[in-house]
Structures are given as C-alpha cells and as structure tokens.
Amino acid sequence: MNRRPNQRLRREAILGPSLPAEISYPRVVSDGGQMGADFLVALRVPGKPLAHCWPDMMRRQHRRAISQLAEKMRRLHQTPGPANLPTIDAPQLLRGDTLSPVMSLLAALEQARSLQYTDRALMDDVEKLVYDLTPAIEPSSSDHLIHGDLTFENMLWDGSDLRAILDFERSRTAPADVDLDVLLRMAC
C-alpha cells in the first residue's frame, strides 16, 4: 500500500510483466487504487530478506548470493525500459526545483556561501571542481532498466539461493552504475 501521491506501486505493476524471468520477480496478482492510495499484491516468494540472513551466512553462501545477484543485475541492465512506464523522480543528487545534479550542487554551494563561517575561497574551489567534473556528475542516458533501490532488504534468500529481487518502484532507465552506487552505499 502506498499513501503518497506518486503512484509508485502502479509503476511497479506496469513494470513487473516486462522484467526478465531471470530476475525472479513475483507475479503481480492485483493492483489498483487511486492517487494517494495505490496498492500492489504479488505472489509470495519463499525466503527472507538477504539483509537479515547475511550476518549468519557462511563465506561460500556470501559468494553464491553475490554471484547470483550479479547475474540477475546483468540481465536487468540489458532490459529495455517499457515505453509506457510513468516517470519517477530519482532521489540521487536531485532537488525538487531542478532535475540537474550539477545545478543542485551549485545551488547548495551558493547556500553554503551565505553561511556565517564559510570559507569563500574553499567554496570557489569546490565550485570549480563541480564545473570540471560536470561530465561525470550529469547523468548519462540509457534505454535500459536499473532497479533504483538495490539493497539486501529487497532481495529474498532461501538459505541456498537468491530467490527474488523485489520493490521495483524506483526502477527506471539509467546507467547501471546507479545500481552499483546504491548497493555500495548500503554495504557501507
């Protein structure tokens, strides 16, 4: 159930059938609702969130889980995004008033400059760095899907296999490294 007015579960219901079978996304049984009250019901998949299992797993199980995750992500990142998928705001480096990460950073630097004890020369150096690194900061385009919220909480482990990847409500077309960024942040 989603009570926010963004219809993220409606997006996931649209996306689910276009996901490759190798992802093991559960079949959607029902979805619907209205703005601020959309819902999604999927078949139950056996397993527990990988985050809950990870601390007690053996090294060989860790390797097996990561190997299976890599295969599932490789397949997902080869999947073109469906044309009818509604857009969603991506949380990485974005503000509500701009969709440009560089503009978000520059606005934050301007705000920092106005603080009482901010070193203006340091802010100038950081601003130059942002401009120099703009090609690396601005998102590149991609027609292929990412998960968008790839954490161990969204993966089901049954004791020997990674059974499913869940929660594709933030999925969108983007470079594959966006998933890697989220996964590495979770690992830290």
Q: Which amino acid would we find at residue 49?
A: P
Return left, alpha or beta for 161; rule: phi > 0 is left, psi -120 to 50 is alpha, else beta.
beta
Long-range CB contacts for residues 116-123, cutoff 8 Å, separation at least 24:
none
Tokens representing residue 21 in the block? 């079978």
pLDDT of residue 94: 47
d(CA 152, CA 169): 16
**How many domains is the chain built from?**
2
Please indicate, yes or no, if residue 52 is contained in any of the structural domains.
Answer: yes
The H or E element that residue 13 is part of is helix 8-15
CATH number of the CATH domain containing 173: 1.10.510.10
> The whole model's pTM is what?
0.73
Query: What is the domain range of residue 122?
Result: 101-137
- Please tell me whether residues 161 and 180 are part of one structural domain: yes
Residue 129: φ, ψ to 5°: -60, -40
- Please tell me whether residues 71 and 151 are part of one structural domain: yes
- Please tell me whether residues 79 and 53 are part of one structural domain: yes
pLDDT tens, position by position, for the chain (188 residues)? 888 887 888 889 989 988 999 999 999 999 888 888 889 999 999 999 999 999 999 999 999 999 999 999 999 999 998 888 877 765 554 444 555 677 878 888 888 888 888 888 898 999 998 888 887 766 666 788 999 899 999 999 999 999 999 999 889 888 888 888 788 878 87
